[in-house]
Amino acid sequence: MEQVSKPTNEMLLTGSEVLLRCLLMEGTDCVFGYPGGNVLYIYDAMVDNPDFKHILTRHEQGAIHAADGYARSTGKVGVCIATSGPGATNLVTGIATAYMDSVPLVIITGNVSTTVMGTDAFQEADIVSMTMPITKHNYSVRDVHDLPRIVHEAFHIANTGRKGPVLIDIPKDVSNHKMLYEPSNQLSIRGYNAAPSADPMEIDKLLQAIAESDKPVIIAGAGVIYSDAAPQLLEFVNKTRIPVATTLLGLGGFPSGHDLWLGMPGHHGTYAANTAIQNADLILSIGSRFDDRVTMKLDGFAPHAKWIAHIDIDPAEIGKNIKTDFACVGDIKAVLEYANTKAKPSKSSSWINKMQENKSNYPLRYKDSDTEIKPQFILEMIHETTKGNAIITTDVGQHQMWTAQFYKFNYSRSLVTSGGSGTMGFGFPAAIGAQIGNPDRLVVSINGDGGMQMCAQEMAICAIHNIPVKIVVINNQVLGMVRQQQELSYESRYSQISLAGSPDFVKLAEAYGVKGLRASNKAEAYGIWQEALKTPGPVLVEFVVPTEENVYPMVLGGTTLDQMILGDFD
């Protein structure tokens, strides 16, 4: 009698083929990377996998920043690949950037074969040890049979709890070893508690303090956005009537048009936000970690607060910088959903009136010009023309702060910027990732002339793939934020800040096949920007602005939030 073989889903595949199938199972729709010798088996497997989409960046740092921008703007896990040695080490800045801002990434690096590990082989680097302090978790794969489990664990760890980057290091021989592969995404990670449940009694105590508070303030951070809790925060604020300040990474988590929004607090925060914190009797941090750019001088922070409360998914943040009276550890969305079932108004009517008076009397201002283009005007113009509906990415520097101040964010995941690490070169590659992840959205990348030169080579992939990012270069011919600090804190002793000799950005864009435009005065600015918006595909727009323009308000290091410099309006 003839035997009939049983049908099976198992297939004999190489580690590289298994890796690609696992990434597709996790919903990965694009990977950013740069090949090299020790990941060539992985890249060879892509040839026979038409479902796998890969974008070849022009630098590994461009790859990881693009994956980061993809993740921040979509809420999905960003993925990048690089080879061993210099390929892997070129990712380190981007890994640290994502780690500081709790961005979910899976980073895949190649390594030398297991047979030569530890011999200082060509392009060998112990990337696992190097990145331990800046990853949520990392893996070194020594057995191909572990690879499916590791990939699925990596995605789960990266995108649950306090999110963050996870690295998978795959030796070259392991990527070519074969195994019987059967699709599975079962998870069992011993000791990993992604999201602890908040104690309802602690939330009840917080709600009682709110009901007794006369001068409460909420500081809302990126955790609100990462938890998809913006609707719950809005409901909570409407019920409790507490004014809200949103941190740099929290912008968009609470609508800027709301009557209780105070603006951004901290180093370049608004008068209304900083004054509210310094005079509040209750401070409630929701998904914000009381970082030094928000608190400034710690022993002068919120001196009149009777209660400090903190809602955060990471217990390590509770009490780390500021002594906390009420600690609600858990997913912010879940905590607010429970709180909204019991929330009552605070006694904040006169307090709200005072805050609104401060907003009216001390708005963000600048001295406009008819002959020069002021950078603040550019951001107001971009907001007006996009109606606040664009995804905005920024690099790091003065333009980043002007964007935070003068572009009004009303939606979560509409601002992509490097906060904790302050990484120059981040903004433009991040915009590419954001555009790949949001193909139907307008993405505007706002850069300084310094940061743009750290990533300009990525214009090549915008041209090749017709990625329609609108690239703004605010060109003040100087390292602007460094110049401002040297002016105010170093008695105008300027050192190594001139960017004279920078390229003609319009010609540079055209060299890559990207349309380039320039405005040198206010009369040109609006028309040039309208042309950029109407042009299909990528466009670079350079705005030439004054070198001496500063970002105000500003709180100098070592001073308290109520010691703001308001600039020409002091």
Q: Which residues are catalytic?
A: 60, 122-123, 172, 481
Which helix (H) or strand (E) segment holds residue 433: the answer is helix 427-437
CA atoms within 13 A on the CB side of 399: 34
Residue listed under structure tokens 């740099």: 248
393: Cα separation from own chain's centroid: 9
Tokens of 451: 């940061």
Tokens of 3: 């035997």
Residue 367 CB: number of other CB atoms within 10 A?
11
Report the alpha-carbon distance of residue 65 to residue 470 in Å, rounded.
17
Q: Which residues fall within 8 angstroms of residue 22, CB to CB, at 6 or more apart?
A: 147, 148, 151, 152
Residue 217 CB: number of other CB atoms within 10 A?
29
CA quadruple 421, 422, 425, 429: dihedral, nearest 10: 70
Which one, of 45, 38, 109, 40, lies nearest residue 79 by Cα? 109
Q: Which residues fall within 8 angstroms of residue 119, CB to CB, at 6 or more apart?
A: none
Report the alpha-carbon distance of residue 134 to residue 97 in Å, rounded.
9
Report the alpha-carbon distance of residue 337 to residue 230 in Å, rounded.
11
Q: What single letter denotes the amino acid at residue 356?
A: Q
Which one, of 174, 552, 498, lies nearest residue 365 by Cα? 552
Check: CB of residue 478 under 8 Å from CB of residue 547: yes
Which one, of 363, 359, 356, 263, lies nearest residue 566 by Cα? 363
Which helix (H) or strand (E) segment holds residue 178: the answer is strand 178-181
CA atoms within 13 A on the CB side of 275: 19
Check: CB of residue 226 under 8 Å from CB of residue 163: yes
Report the alpha-carbon distance of residue 451 to residue 428 in Å, rounded.
9
Alpha helices in 387-479 (DSSP H): 398-406, 427-437, 449-452, 459-465
The per-residue DSSP string of 529-540 comes to: HHHHHHSSS-EE
Q: How many residues does the chain have?
A: 570
Check: CB of residue 225 under 8 Å from CB of residue 71: no
Q: Which residues fall within 8 angstroms of residue 552, CB to CB, at 6 or more apart?
A: 268, 366, 565, 566, 567, 568, 569
